[in-house]
Amino acid sequence: MEDTSKYHIHANVTADGVVERSDVVGAIFGQTEGLLGDELDLRDLRQSQKVGRIDVEITSTKGQSHGTLTIATSLDKVETATLAASLETITRVGPCRASLEVREIEDVRAAKRKEVVDRAKELLRTGFDDSVMTSEEILAEVRQHVRVEDITEYEGLPAGPRVTDSDAIIVVEGRSDVLTLLKYGVKNAIAVEGTNVPDAVAELTRHRTVTVFLDGDRGGDLIFEELSQVGEIDYVAFAPAGESVEELDHHQLFAALRNKVPYDSVSGLNEPREAVAATDGSATPAPPASSPHTLDEESPDDPPTGSNRRTDATRSSGTDSSAAGETDPSPEAETSSPSADPATAESSVDEGPQTVYGHATLVIAGDTDQVRFLDADGDVLEEAPASDVYDALEAAETVPTTIVLDEILDQRLLDLAADRGVDRIVARSLGQFTKRPTAVQVHAADDVADAPPTE
């Protein structure tokens, strides 16, 4: 009956004497019998389950009895109200004078509706997960999951999947560092797993362009010292002082890699970290150097200058190139081009630099606020203000092979370059990308080697 009842009749009972629950129930059935006819006879309604159990709660104090009763019904409003009114005709309960007053007729469905509304409000407030992921976040999480699952082993050491076939590798301390690099898309890292550099890593460094990327603590210094003795290092990068590679976010990690320095600029120092450009806001300056790309998709074809490559007779490189490799780049030489006389700079443009570095020096290092479109031979197709690069590329009749841009490269321009078939973009700096087309190589100006690009 509880599941099918529509209304509850609530009434108060008062008796001049001590009565019990059975006395009240008997009085209700006895004094209403035949009062409303056969259709509303309480016994028949009870048997047909149109009226539920009569619940009575009564207590006696000082010779008086007071209590309440509740009757559930599935009748309609009129019948329920008539039945409730008949209860007030009761004048005796057992041997005592009594009165019964209907206090309320409760609509059970209205009460349920109120409960539903209240519960719905609560669920609306607390039941939904507000962290709904956007399409970009979903794709980013899937990519990150795939990258982390890509971790492999090289001779039993944690490594990225490109270590075996990449021209350049990044040597880090532990597995967590490899995972951090994988999370940000760097797949050519290998871990030494402690201060004792494995023979496999030492041997690998003799055949690749090597960047060591170590924690900014004493442990990183020790690994650097041992690796410089048993292996061959080209470039050195450190995490900010007191931090480890695995703790770096995307910006800090790539800033540290961009600030790598040639090995020979730190090889003779007691504190090599002091020579590496600070990425944590400190005042430590970065030594001037032009270094090839560290990431696997940006590997150089030739060994870089400033490495600790050995000059044995058994090495394939000649003595002349080895000597050149031991020479530090001159800051004055690097800064001479941007500060050249305008007439000289104009003459250089007319001659047409033969390397991407040459164009980057004139356009970006010269602070020209220009963009230059190059063909496959390095010849200039078009020049325009950097602020108009999107419109210029969109309207270009001949698709450039390389774009040199004295501006920050953003996602919108990168997408257009991929759509038009541009192979390479060299920009003053790189913005934050939600997606990075694999068909377009993108570089910050400092990452471009002083050598012709391989087409």
For 125-154, the pLDDT digits (tens) are 887 766 677 888 788 777 766 666 678 888
CA 57 to chain centroid: 62
pLDDT in the model for residue 294: 54
Query: CA-to-CA distance for 256 and 286, rounded, in angstroms?
Result: 11
Predicted structure pTM score: 0.38
Beta bridge partners of 59: 66
Over the stretch 412-424, which tens digit does the pLDDT of each residue have? 888 888 888 899 9
Query: CA-to-CA distance for 351 and 304, rounded, in angstroms?
Result: 27
Do 154 and 200 touch, CB atoms closer than 8 A?
yes
Query: CA-to-CA distance for 66 and 35, rounded, in angstroms?
Result: 25
Query: Dmax over Cα atoms in the chain, in whole Å?
Result: 128
Phi-psi region of 276 (alpha: psi -120 to 50; beta: other; left: phi over 0): beta
Do 89 and 29 touch, CB atoms closer than 8 A?
no
Q: Which of 438, 442, 432 is nearest to 250 (CA)?
A: 432
Question: Backbone phi, then psi, for 29, in 5-degree steps?
Answer: -65, -40
pLDDT in the model for residue 311: 40
- Edge-first strand listing for the sheet containing 96-107: 51-61, 64-73, 7-15, 96-107, 92-93
Over the stretch 276-319, which tens digit does the pLDDT of each residue have? 644 344 444 444 444 445 555 443 344 444 555 544 433 333 33
Query: CA-to-CA distance for 100 and 13, rounded, in angstroms?
Result: 5
pLDDT in the model for residue 231: 87
pLDDT in the model for residue 104: 92
Query: CA-to-CA distance for 293 and 157, rounded, in angstroms?
Result: 23
CA distances to 42, 73, 326 from 6, rounded to whole Å, are 17, 6, 96
pLDDT in the model for residue 167: 86
Over the stretch 225-257, which tens digit does the pLDDT of each residue have? 888 888 888 888 888 888 888 888 888 888 888
The ranges of the chain with pLDDT < 50 are 277-292, 297-305, 310-352, 450-453, 455
What's the N-to-C CA distance of the chain in angstroms?
Answer: 86
pLDDT in the model for residue 11: 95
Query: CA-to-CA distance for 54 and 41, rounded, in angstroms?
Result: 15
Is residue 261 packed enough to be buried (19+ CB in 10 Å), middle (13-18) or exposed (0-12)?
A: buried
Strand ranges for 47-115 from DSSP E: 51-61, 64-73, 92-93, 96-107
Q: In terms of residues, how long is the chain?
A: 455
Question: Backbone phi, then psi, for 273, in 5-degree steps?
Answer: -65, -25
